[in-house]
Amino acid sequence: MKKTLLALCCVSSLVFGTDDMDSLFDESFEDTEFLVEEPKKEKKSYNLTFNGFIKVRGYGFVNPTDVENQDTNLYHSDTILELNTKFKKDSYIVSGSVFGLIGTDSDTYEYDKLLNEPRDNDKKMVVAGIKELYAIKSADNYDIVAGKKMFNPGISTLYSPSDVYNTKLSPDPLDPYTIGTLLVKTEYYLDNSSYALVLFPYISTSKTASMKTRWGGDGEDVVVNSFTVDDAAKVTKDEENKVRALFTSKFNTILYNQGIDLLFSVGYGPSIYSVLEYTNTPNLYLETNPKAMYIDTGFSTTYKKFELHAEVYYQSVFKDKDDDFISAVGGVTYTLDKFVDKVGFKKIDMTVEYVKETITNHYDKELTYRSSEKTRAPKNDVLINMMAQINDKWNLTYFGNFRLEVEQEKDSGRYQKIASTYKSANGINTTLFVELFNGDVNSYYGKWRNNDRVGIDLKYSF
């Protein structure tokens, strides 16, 4: 009997222990498979990228100019080439960008001249130079940036009154090419906020088209560095290097269950806007950038399909050498993506902004011959931008700048641009555009009332 029980126990252990044995076998097999080492792929210790674009544009004016001594050619073209590279290794980034500009307007370009560094105060257009060249040291909660870099501390969409640091190259004032500014920036990150201290060693001068072009105005006055002066007057430039400092902070917070981005900046140093001061020599004026304090604040938030934003910029100049003023902008963006398919569109984005400048304290006329008022824009404007996307390759755009009259000065004007852009399979963006100008004789756009034009842009990115 004992032998029989012993035999049954052995059989049962073999039968009912099969799962455990299989499990053990599987685990052993898996362990063995896990221990097999696959050859590791060698990882690069750095990353290097190159890209750029070339844009060729041609356009023709509808009407001949009626201003004496201006360019009478109806057709013009220009080309922009940009090359970019970025090198990244560990926590360091070095980025550079160079450009070249050529055009048919020989009075605007100086073809044997490159952009002088670190600062170029010559008003004549350069044909090649450095757009950006900077280095970044990154850490978990801070970045340090040094070099020449694009910088805009603002928060508004179409027009930001604090976007005054970069240099504009504007052989065509309606199609400016923007290059960076020299800066040293330290930015610290904390939760949902950031704090930055920025130093600008130099203020570079933006460049505009020659007065002999159709963008030069009515030709009745002598214009030196964007100022209208008497024929016998001369202007000299203040070459003193002055450092401009800016502290800026950005926050993201929740208010009434709504996420809001907030901006606050305060700065000190020479004004970006220059003035003409009197000198001890008759008919000789000094172009300088008076010292001032700057405050910029703004917000941006979304509500359903609406994006709301506003920004207020304040400049207070010491010794009353220029105007103290407030430039405020408020706007809304709305996205329409339902029912638009019935009219052939994928979606429509529309942004509307209103900009208003208010002078809080006028300059001292005994110290300053010309303030920066004429060079500051816009002052009382409505901006409209609309983009209708037909599909992933084709869209239609409309932009309008409507300048309303300021203090009964008969300076209202209008600029409108209608364009159609198509992206082909080979990466070329083709844009057909029409631009229209109109307004009072004294207005910004009124002086270009004969400059209505039709053109084409071909842009290839690589």
pLDDT tens per residue, range 328-378? 999 999 998 888 888 888 999 999 999 999 999 999 999 999 999 988 888
Res. 216 pLDDT band, cuts 50 70 90: confident
3-state secondary structure labels for all residues of the chain: CHHHHHHHHHHHHHHHCHHHHHHHHHHHHHHHHHCCCCCCCCCCCCEEEEEEEEEEEEEEECCCCCCCCCCCCCEEEEEEEEEEEEEEECCEEEEEEEEEEEECCCCCECCCCCCCCCCCCCCCECCEEEEEEEEEEECCCEEEEEEEECCCCCCCCCCCCCCCCCEEEECCCCCCEEECEEEEEEEEEECCEEEEEEEECCCCCCEECCCCCCCCCCCCCEEECCEEECCCCEEEECCCCCCEEEEEEEEEEEECCEEEEEEEEEEEEECCCCEEEECCCCCEEEEECCEEEEEEEEEEEEECCEEEEEEEEEEEEHHHCCCEEEEEEEEEEEEECCCHHHHCCCEEEEEEEEEEEEEEECCCCCCEEECCHHHCCCCEEEEEEEEEECCCCEEEEEEEEEECCCCCCCCCEEEEEEEEEEECCCCEEEEEEEEEEEECCCCCCHHHCCCCEEEEEEEEEC
Q: Can you tell me the mean pLDDT for 439-456?
A: 90
pLDDT above 80 for 252: yes
Categorize the per-residue pLDDT at 32 as very low, low, confident or very high, splitting at 50, 70 and 90: very low
Q: Which of 175-179, 256-260, 349-353 has the lowest mean pLDDT?
A: 256-260
pLDDT score, position 394: 94
Is a pLDDT exceeding 80 seen at residue 14?
A: no
What pLDDT, on a 0 to 100 scale, did the predictor assign at position 334?
A: 95
pLDDT at 8: 38
> For residue 384, what pLDDT band results from cuts at 50, 70 and 90?
very high
pLDDT class for 160, splitting at 50, 70, 90?
very high
Q: What is the mean pLDDT of residues 172-177?
A: 89
| pLDDT on residue 426 | 85
Whether the pLDDT of residue 2 is over 60: the answer is no
Is the per-residue pLDDT at 267 higher than 80? yes
Q: What is the pLDDT of residue 19?
A: 42
Percent of the chain's residues with pLDDT above 70: 82
Which of 8-12, 204-208, 349-353 is the most confident on average? 349-353
Highest average pLDDT, of 1-10, 213-222, 447-456, comes from 447-456
pLDDT of residue 34: 42
Q: Which residue has the higher pLDDT, 119 or 460?
A: 460
Does 244 score more than 70 pLDDT? yes
Pick the range with the lowest mean pLDDT from 18-27, 163-172, 223-232, 313-322: 18-27
Question: What ranges do the domains of the chain cover?
Answer: 47-67+78-461
Per-residue confidence (pLDDT) for residue 124, from 0 to 100: 61
Which of the pair, 207 or 404, is modelled with greater confidence?
Answer: 404
Mean pLDDT of 262-275: 93
- The pLDDT value recorded for residue 248 is 95
Asked: is 47-67+78-461 a CATH 1.20.272.10 domain? The reply is: no
pLDDT for the residue 350: 96
